Amino acid sequence: MMKFTKHNFIFLLGGIIIYVVDIGVDFWVASKYFCQGQYSWSILILCFRGLSLLIMQIFSYEWFKNDWEGTDTGKLKWIFLVHLFQCGIFIRYWFALKYGCQAAFKQKDSGDAPETDSPNLLQKQAIDVMTDINMLRVFKTFLETTPQLCVQIYILMEHGKSNFSQYVAIIMSFCGISFSAVDYQISLRKSLPDKDEFPVLSKLVYLFYKLLTITSWILSITLITLLSVRSSVILLILLWICGFTWTVKQHTTFCKSKKMEYLYRTVVGIILIFTFFNIKGRKTKVCISIYYATHTVVTLGILFVYLSWKPSIIKEISFTIVSILTILSLVLGIIFLVVYYRCFHPTAYCRPQECSDEVDREAGHKNSVKTCRFQNFIMQ
């Protein structure tokens, strides 16, 4: 298992700041639309925020309940109230700051500390709590940030008018998607045995692979939405049904209860609309090839429909620019994908017994559920 370093602690502080700023930007943009009389856009922006917040609270509380099973029920009641007021993520950030500070700055002074405060256990606690936060951030990215980005780009292209708040929202969305993807992969490697370090070059290749493929797909969705909102909604629903069906067929075991497992599969179906998501931690060469081949065909199909249905639009400079960006980002994204899987992708996967043995050595069998949770939730 890798270590939680001072650099990780600094990035944790940055993540908290970005999260708070992102909340402010959402309400700022929504208020701008509301003041301009564009109530539907304002409500839509807030709905994406509310949906992601609700899903995050549900999963966060469920994980607390699973991890604290058999402990003081008074703590769980307090935790439930915090999540009820939609502030569960801040509790997790508080634990991350607490354990992260101890792991990054106080390890050298823990020679005479009791076994429960051993450096290895502190490292495990810090990495575990950051892993949970990054899982929740993945939910937020694809339930809120990515849909909001589609909406913002659609408004910009449809009406041709823009303001400063729109550009800030678009930049924050791209930053949110980028940081979420990279942080998640870092947490994956830190929390699972036999994973190699994640060097800077590997991070950059992975970042460009995710960012470029997602950007191309967002632009494609925006283009078909400009052509027909109904067609866009039908396409997204069909893609979600395909993603959800595939997830069900994988027989995922991420949650203890069946209701939570189906909620998890529903969320994964939404994520699969925008990016590939390896939910079983297995080799997925065929699946990922089919996934991005489908995206390529759909993207080219959307551009072909434009050329056939509205040939006059070819003369518009905005369509030409967006089309070039869509194709270019897709091609570059797939190139970075191939480079990442050829040169940087780890081939070792965490087996349940490996997870259990490592946890048992450090903190006893009662914590095995928490550490093994991540092996059932892997995005690559």
Q: In terms of C-beta density within 10 A (0-12 exposed, 13-18 middle, 19 or more buried), how is residue 115 classed?
A: exposed
Percent of the chain with pLDDT over 90: 35
Residue 376 predicted with pLDDT over 70: no
Q: Which residue has the tokens 């700041």?
A: 17
Rounded mean pLDDT, 179-192 = 74
Report residue 89 as tokens: 């993520």
Q: Residue 116: pLDDT band by 50, 70, 90 thresholds?
A: low
Amino acid at 266: T
Pairwise CA distance, residues 55 & 49, whole Å: 10
Q: Residue 117: pLDDT band by 50, 70, 90 thresholds?
A: low
pLDDT tens readout for residues 56-71:
999 999 999 888 876 7
CA distance to 110, 165, 230, per residue, from 114 (Å): 8, 52, 62
DSSP code, position 342: I
Rounded mean pLDDT, 38-66 = 92
- Of 234, 201, 224, 237, which is closest to residue 300 (Cα–Cα)? 224
pLDDT tens readout for residues 75-85:
888 999 999 99
Average the pLDDT over each of 159-173, 307-321, 353-367 and give the range with the smallest value: 353-367
Phi-psi region of 191 (alpha: psi -120 to 50; beta: other; left: phi over 0): alpha
pLDDT tens readout for residues 221-274:
998 998 888 989 999 999 999 999 999 998 888 888 899 999 999 999 999 999
CA distance to 92, 147, 187, per residue, from 98 (Å): 10, 33, 18
Please tell me which residue, 348 or 251, carries the higher pLDDT value: 251
Q: Which residue has the tokens 């493929």?
A: 213
